[in-house]
């Protein structure tokens, strides 16, 4: 299915939604986009193998929407694979991901565009995009605000130095994302988004604004988000982030040493679950600081791995039982 309706072939925004079995909530995204005051955008939907009528639902919207919609379907491979496809297909200058169970305010795209335009044109090449605040469906702010109403920083500094917490929402230039794809890890359908955000932060600045623009809906059922799954599931994908933190972001350790020690232990734990022994873990690290952090986290990470063993075996037995019924 391809885009229909009004719109530039090269819009400012590609609003991207990766979806899997979310036909019941996807209307929030559609209705949010239909209400936008800024109209120079397309909506790109990548369906990660849904079987709940998502394709027919989007087909109906394509026929009636006052904005361009494109729909692509792939076998179930995980959001990170859908994201890479979306970035490759995007026609927009800016790539803005809106989750399939969330919504945004009518002025969201307008505010983002104005915030980007406020960056002096000669300086924009050093910036990847703009990031804003998020509230939940009850109106409560997710996490903390940025230390100033307009802050030029990056996702590493805001998290580690300024200790900004909670869900945040923003766009990146599409060309930047094409140069920084999600790694595709064999055996994992999940790779933490921070892998990409941190990689971009090493090369680009981002403008942060204290405006609430997205509405985040809490999961309705336990386990509905991949991040709530047991640590041994998609362990190889998780280990990518933990290795990156201790090996490449170590210069920030003075701001949050506990965060780095926890990442080191998690790197050990997830690597072991992924079948990577201590020798392989050591070899994958390239910095002296990273290896020192790994040594500090080794006993704790190993202990957590051993503690996981009974629950992991029980989980595997339940899975094996369910797959034979």
**Cβ burial 136-168 (10 Å sphere, 16+ → b, else e):** beeeeebeeebeeeebebbbbbbbbebebeeeb
pLDDT number for residue 186: 87
Shared domain check, 185 and 84: yes
pTM of the model: 0.90
User: Does residue 8 belong to any structural domain of this protein?
Assistant: no
Nearest to 305 by CA among 248, 250, 230: 230
Shared domain check, 71 and 27: yes
Shared domain check, 110 and 56: yes
pLDDT number for residue 228: 54
Question: At 117, which CATH number?
Answer: 3.90.550.10
Tally of domains in the chain: 2
Range of the domain at 245: 231-323
Shared domain check, 31 and 158: yes
pLDDT number for residue 187: 81
Q: Which stretches of the chain drop beneath a pLDDT of 70? A: 1-8, 220-228, 319-325
Shared domain check, 207 and 124: yes
Shared domain check, 188 and 292: no
Domain boundary pick from 192, 216, 240:
216
pLDDT number for residue 41: 98
User: Does residue 35 belong to any structural domain of this protein?
Assistant: yes
- pLDDT, tens digit (0-9, with 9 covering 90-100), for 143-167: 999 999 999 999 999 999 999 999 9
User: Does residue 6 belong to any structural domain of this protein?
Assistant: no
User: What is the SS3 assignment for the chain?
Assistant: CCCCCCCCCCCCEEEEEEECCCCCCCHHHHHHHHCCCCCCEEEEEEECCCCCCHHHHHHHHHHHCCCCEEEEECCCCCHHHHHHHHHHHCCCCEEEECCCCCEECCCHHHHHHHHHHCCCHHHHHHEEEEEEEEEECCCCECCCCCCCCEEEECHHHHHHCCCCCCCEEEEEEHHHHHCCCCCCCCCCCCCCCHHHHHHHHCCCEEEEEEEEEEEECCCCCCCCCHHHCCCCCCHHHHHHHHHHHHHHCHHHCCCCHHHHHHHHHHHHHHHHHCCCCHHHHHHHCCCHHHHHHHHHHHHHHHHHHHHHHHHHHHHHHHHHHHHCC
pLDDT number for residue 39: 97
User: Does residue 4 belong to any structural domain of this protein?
Assistant: no
User: Does residue 33 belong to any structural domain of this protein?
Assistant: yes
Distance, in Å, from the CA atom of 49 to the CA atom of 59, rounded to the nearest integer, reads 15
Shared domain check, 176 and 106: yes
pLDDT number for residue 218: 81
pLDDT number for residue 7: 57
Shared domain check, 82 and 204: yes
Shared domain check, 211 and 83: yes
User: Does residue 222 belong to any structural domain of this protein?
Assistant: no
User: Does residue 221 belong to any structural domain of this protein?
Assistant: no
Domain boundary pick from 191, 216, 241:
216
Domain boundary pick from 152, 183, 216:
216
User: Does residue 46 belong to any structural domain of this protein?
Assistant: yes
Shared domain check, 308 and 270: yes
pLDDT number for residue 316: 80
Shared domain check, 184 and 50: yes
Shared domain check, 142 and 103: yes
């Amino acid at each position: 299915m391809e885009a229909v309706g009004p719109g530039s072939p090269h819009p400012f925004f590609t609003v991207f939604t990766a979806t899997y079995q979310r036909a019941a909530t996807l209307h929030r995204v559609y209705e949010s986009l239909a209400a936008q005051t800024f109209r120079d955008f397309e909506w790109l939907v990548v369906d990660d193998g849904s079987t709940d009528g998502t394709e027919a639902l989007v087909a109906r919207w394509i026929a009636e929407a006052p904005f361009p919609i494109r729909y692509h379907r792939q076998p179930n491979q995980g959001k990170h694979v859908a994201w890479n496809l979306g970035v490759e297909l995007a026609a927009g200058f800016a790539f803005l991901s809106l989750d399939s169970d969330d919504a945004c305010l009518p002025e969201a795209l307008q505010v983002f565009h104005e915030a980007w335009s406020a960056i002096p044109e000669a300086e924009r090449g050093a910036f990847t995009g703009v990031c804003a605040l998020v509230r939940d469906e009850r109106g409560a702010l997710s996490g903390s605000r940025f230390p100033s109403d307009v802050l030029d920083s990056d996702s590493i500094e805001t998290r580690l130095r300024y200790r900004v917490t909670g869900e945040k929402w923003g766009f990146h230039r599409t060309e930047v994302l094409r140069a920084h794809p999600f790694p595709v890890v064999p055996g994992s359908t999940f790779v933490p988004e921070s892998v990409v955000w941190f990689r971009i932060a090493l090369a680009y600045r981002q403008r942060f604004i204290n405006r609430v623009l997205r509405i985040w809906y809490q999961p309705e059922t336990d386990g509905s988000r991949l991040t709530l799954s047991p640590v041994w599931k998609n362990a190889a994908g998780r280990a990518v982030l933990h290795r990156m933190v201790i090996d490449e972001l170590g210069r920030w350790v003075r701001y949050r040493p506990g965060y780095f020690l926890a990442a080191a232990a998690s790197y050990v734990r997830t690597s072991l679950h992924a079948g990577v022994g201590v020798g392989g873990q050591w070899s994958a690290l390239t910095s002296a600081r990273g290896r020192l952090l790994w040594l500090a986290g080794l006993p704790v990470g190993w202990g957590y791995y051993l503690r996981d063993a009974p629950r992991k075996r029980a989980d595997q037995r339940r899975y094996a039982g369910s797959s034979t019924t």
